Amino acid sequence: MTDAPTAAMTNEKKTTAPENYINRVTLGARLKQYARSPLSLILMILVMLAAIFSVGMLIFIIAYILINGVPHLTAEQFDWNYTTENVSMMPAMINTLIMTALTLVIAVPIGVFAAVYLVEYAKRGNKLVKIIRVTTETLSGIPSIVFGLFGYLMFNISFGWGFSMMAGVITLAMMILPLIIRTTEEALLAVPDSYREGSFGLGAGKMRTVFRVILPTAVPGIMSGVILSIGRIVGESAALIFTSGSGHSIPGSLVGSGSSAATLTVHMYILSNEGLHVNEAFASAVVLLALTFLINLVSDLIERRIAKKKG
């Protein structure tokens, strides 16, 4: 006779072993399945090739930039003052960080509040909501150089700002606004209606429900849109050439004379366009790659910290 624990362990082995065997798909069974359905095999091969190609291209681009840029990094390129001898990228790095922060300060609140209105306050199926969504999708497809020409005519010429950092910041804010609205809207729509119903059932009002329940739940989706926006800000050059100019110094003001500011991408474009500092342009690309990675890492840490506090 066997005691109760031993019998229980024997029964557990008998029940778990067949389940594990059923869930395990052998190579022979998989090949038979593909033999019965050749289309599945073709689709699997295409998906694997697409994944390998995408990862391979990313690795190739990063490796190409690092191989051609890292050997040409020098201490003189990080001097505070730009000269034709050191072609320092430090002012461009500072300008990039300042313009990124100011652009997010302007665009993120407007985009988030616009998405909150479209999802939480506007009536579903409203024609105005449809028009706004079509408009934002249209704006997201406009080339950046068109935004640059608009910013040049509006801010540089009509407002009399000239080449200034503020002109570039507002132009960049208009460029990323559709992206933030759409990603925030999708994040808010992904929040279950049961959250809203539970909050209303506990006596909370509309505004309290939105800011204490809905928005904290949608933070991961909102932060994804912010990270994508940061990537577009840091990598933008065409619009900034027309608006913020190509000044190789940190401006003392946002508007007016002497406020022209070149970001890292504009700095890199100028160096490569001249043809005299191609190696330094590759070095700037390495710094730009590292800066983008660092900004995305910080944004991801902030997102995780918020999600952890929420949990």
Residues 131 and 183 occupy one common structural domain: yes
**Domain-ending residue, one of 68, 91, 110:** 68
Residue 163: other Cβ atoms inside 10 A: 24
What is the band of 310 on the pLDDT scale with cuts at 50, 70, 90? Answer: low
pLDDT value of position 24 = 65
pLDDT at 14: 47
User: What tokens appear for 180 in the block?
Assistant: 């933030």
289 and 205 within one domain: yes
115, HSE (Cβ side, Cα atoms, 13 Å): 29
Could you tell me the pLDDT band of residue 260, with boundaries at 50, 70 and 90?
A: confident
Same domain, 152 and 17: no
* Same-domain pairing of 19 and 140: no
**What is the per-residue pLDDT for 7?**
47
Based on the fold, state whether residues 64 and 94 are members of the same structural domain. no
Within this chain, do residues 276 and 183 fall inside the same structural domain, yes or no?
A: yes
Check whether residue 100 and residue 63 sit in a common domain. no
Statement: residue 121 has pLDDT above 90: no
Q: Residue 19 pLDDT more than 60?
A: no
pLDDT at 249 over 70: yes
Confidence at residue 63, expressed as pLDDT on a 0 to 100 scale? 94
Confidence (pLDDT) at 17: 46
| Amino acid found at 289 | L
Cα separation, 68 vs 64, whole angstroms: 6
Helix pair 278-310, 219-234: axis angle to 10 deg: 170
Same domain? For 63 and 127 the reply is no
**CATH number of domain containing 80:** 1.10.3720.10
- Do both 234 and 100 map to the same domain? yes
Residue 150 CB coordination number (10 Å) = 16
The number of folded domains in the chain is 2
**Res 12: pLDDT:** 45
Whether residue 33 is found in the same domain as residue 141: no
Residue pair 184/112 in contact by the 8 Å Cβ criterion: yes
Q: What range does the domain containing 13 cover? A: 4-68
pLDDT at 37: 78
- Tokens matching residue 265: 């991408």
What percentage of the chain's residues is helix, strand, coil (to nearest 5)?
80, 0, 20
Is the domain of 275 the same as that of 188? yes
Q: What is the pLDDT of residues 129-187, one digit of tens each?
A: 888 888 888 888 889 999 999 999 999 999 988 899 999 999 999 999 999 999 999 99
Percent of the chain with pLDDT over 70: 90
Give the residue-averaged pLDDT of 20-37: 66
Instruction: Give Cα separations from 285 to 80, 107, 228 (angstroms).
Output: 18, 26, 19
pLDDT digits (tens, 9 = 90+) for 51-67: 999 999 999 999 999 99
Is 48 in the same domain as 122? no
Query: Is it the case that residue 36 has pLDDT exceeding 60?
Result: yes
Two tokens at 107? Answer: 């665009």
Q: Which of 42, 68, 94 is the last residue of a domain?
A: 68
Using the 3D structure, point to which of 48, 68, 88 is the last residue of a domain. Answer: 68
Quote the pLDDT of residue 179.
92
Going by C-beta distance under 8 Å and a sequence separation of 6 or more, which residues neighbour residue 11? Answer: none
- The DSSP symbol for 153 reads I
Above 50 in pLDDT, residue 246?
A: yes
| 83-110 pLDDT, tens digit each | 888 888 899 999 999 999 999 999 999 9
